[in-house]
Amino acid sequence: MSGSTSTGGRGQAPALRSRVVGTGSATGCDGMDLRLYCGSADPELGKSVAAKLRTPLAKRKLQRFPDGEVHVRLEETLRGDDVFILQSTSPPVDQHLMELLVMVDACRRAAAARVTAIIPYFGYSRQEKKSAGREPITTRLVADLLTCSGVDRVVSVDLHAPAIQGFFNIEMDHLTAVQLLIEHLQRHRGEDRVVVSPDTGRVKMAERYAHGLGLPLVVLHKERAETGRVEVHKVIGDVRGLRPIVIDDMITTGGTIDEAVRALLEAGARPEITVAATHGLLVGKAMDRLANPAIAEVVVTDTVPIPPEKRVKKLLVLSVAELLAEATRRLHDERSISALFSPRYNHHPV
C-alpha cells in the first residue's frame, strides 16, 4: 500500500528513505555524558564540531515518509546525558526547523538530562516585530516552539536582532562571529579602507568592525520606495578614494549589497569593495549581484552551508566550528563562555 507506515515495532517497517551517522559521547566533570547530534542542514559543520570536541557524532536515523513527514530515531541510549543538537534553520527553513523540533522531542522521550539546541543561523529572525497591522511576530513563535519541544538552552550566532534573546524564557546564549571576520580583515587593513554600515539598523555591528580594525565608519541611509525597492538616498561620511568594507549580518538575495555598491561608487569610492557577513544564505539573484566586478572579495562563515557551485573565486568561507565546539565544551562543563568573545579563537577558511 503506497504511503502506509507502521511504528512501535508492530507490523511492517515504515517505507522510509534513511541514512545513519556515527556514534559516540564524552563525559564531563558533572558526570553526564556529552552527546552531539547533527541534523541534515549542515552535516559538514557537524563533523567539524565533533572533530574539535574529539567525540564522534551520536548515531541517529533521519528518515522521511513518502509524503515528506520527518521521522527521527536515536540509535543509542542517552538517558541522563547532556545532549547538544546542531541544526541551522537555513533554507528550506520550515523543513529544518521541524526536523530540529522532532529531534528535540525524541531526545526528551529518551530521557536526556538536558537538551541544548545549537542553531548557528536562526531562521525567522527578520520577523521579530510587527511592521504593520495584522502581522505575526514569528520569531517569538519559533522561540515558543523550541521551548515547548523541550529545549533547555538555545545557542545561536549573530542574531538579526539582538533583542530576540529576550523572547526566550529559557537560557539563550548569543555568540558572535564578528571577531572571526575582523581577524581575517585585519590581514588586508590599510589607511585607504573604511567600514560601511549598509543601513542604520546595522550601525552597532559596524562600530564593532570599525573599532576592531581601527578604521572610520560610514553609514548608508536607505528608504523603501513605493515600488518596494530599497534605495540608498544618502552616504553619511566620506568614501572618496577609499576601499569600502561593507558589513552585514546576512546576505540573502544580495539586494542590499547591490544598492550599497552603487551608492558607494557614485560617492567616489574605489571599485575594490569587500563584503563581509556572518550568514551567507545566497539565494535568488545573490550570486549574480556579488559577481559585480567592483566587489573584490566576499567573506562569510559556514553557519549556512555553501554548495560547491556557489564557491566562486572571490568568495571566502570561514569556519565557526572552533567557536561552536568551545561553546559546547564550556556549557557542558558549566564554565563561562565570555572568553569566546576575545580574539583568542583563531579560525581558518574551509
Instruction: Show which residues are catalytic.
Output: 222
At 340, the pLDDT band (50, 70, 90 cuts) reads: confident
142 occurs within a structural domain? yes
The answer to whether the beta carbons of residues 72 and 63 sit under 8 Å apart is yes
Structural domain span for residue 282: 179-318
The enclosing domain of 298 has a CATH number of: 3.40.50.2020
Domain shared by 117 and 213, yes or no: no
Domain shared by 146 and 206, yes or no: no
pTM of this structure: 0.88
Note the pLDDT tens digit of each residue in 64-106. Answer: 999 999 999 999 999 999 999 999 999 999 999 999 999 999 9
Domain shared by 131 and 214, yes or no: no
11 occurs within a structural domain? no
Q: What is the separation, in whole angstroms, between the first and last Cα of the chain?
A: 45
190 occurs within a structural domain? yes
Half-sphere exposure of 50 (CA within 13 A, CB side): 24
Domain shared by 313 and 185, yes or no: yes
Domain shared by 203 and 145, yes or no: no
Place of cell 567557536: 323
Looking at the structure of the chain, the number of domains it has is: 2
Domain shared by 264 and 138, yes or no: no
8 occurs within a structural domain? no
Which long-range contacts does 169-176 make (Cβ < 8 Å, 24+ apart)? 170/146, 173/327, 173/331, 173/337, 175/323, 175/324, 175/327, 175/337, 175/340, 176/278, 176/341
Place of cell 573604511: 194
159 occurs within a structural domain? yes
Domain shared by 167 and 312, yes or no: no
Domain shared by 141 and 279, yes or no: no
- State the Cα–Cα distance between residues 244 and 222, nearest whole angstrom: 17
346 occurs within a structural domain? no
- State the Cα–Cα distance between residues 245 and 262, nearest whole angstrom: 14
Domain shared by 333 and 308, yes or no: no
Q: Which one, of 177, 178, 157, 174, lies nearest residue 165 by Cα?
A: 174
Note the pLDDT tens digit of each residue in 150-204. Answer: 999 999 999 999 999 999 999 999 999 999 999 999 988 888 999 999 998 899 9
